[in-house]
A and B are shown apart, each in its own frame.
Chain A
Amino acid sequence: MSMFSLDSSKTKKEELKQQIRSEFALANAQELINKMSEKCYSGCVPKPGKSLSRTETDCLSKCMKKYLEAWNMVSQAYTRRIQEESAKGSK
């Protein structure tokens, strides 16, 4: 019992950090899903029918993969640029 109270404030702090991290991660995932749905819906479902066809769901899976790859590409390009600019700035 005393062991617990000894590091309980440290545990609380880590819990709070973890909670903050997962809230940010959730917001990021929601944004990703929103944008990806928009792009893949307009790219794969040009004429919405009564349900998604096999062709459409195949397209959606491929589109999702492509969107994630593009996102990572953009992220790398942007991060590289920020690093270059800050290296320039510090000279």
Chain B
Amino acid sequence: MSTPNNASATMDPETQKEMAQFLEVEQSRAQLQQAVHRFTDMCWDKCVNNASTPLDHGEESCFVNCVGRFLDTSVFLVKNLDSAQNL
């Protein structure tokens, strides 16, 4: 790049590597949080009848099951897709 004040231009290779690693960690954290937002959104509709009552045990386990079975579903579908391709 032509910008002389480009940060990477002023960084030694070691610092560049450190920053790349730092960014990778932060990005995977952000990705995880993004998934949690999606799951909470989806499971809220399935598990919550009343928005103003405290989260009770039934709802808690509903959220846990909702996340677990959603992940099972995507694993199942991927396996299915795999075996369907081998037909």
A residues sitting closer than 8 Å to B (CB atoms) are 9, 13, 16-17, 20-21, 24, 27-28, 31-32, 35, 38-40, 43-44, 58-59, 62-63, 65-67, 69-71, 73-75, 77-79, 81-82
Contacts and interface: CB of A to CB of B under 8 A. Distances in A.
Given A16-B7, A78-B71, 6 more contacts: A13-B19, A28-B30, A32-B37, A44-B52, A63-B52, A81-B67
Interface of B: 7, 15, 18-19, 22-23, 26, 29-30, 32-37, 39-41, 43-44, 47-48, 50-55, 59-60, 63-64, 66-68, 71
Most buried by A among B7, B18, B63: B63
Contact of B40 (A17, A21, A35, A63): A35
Contact of B36 (A63, A66, A71): A71
A43 B19 contact: no
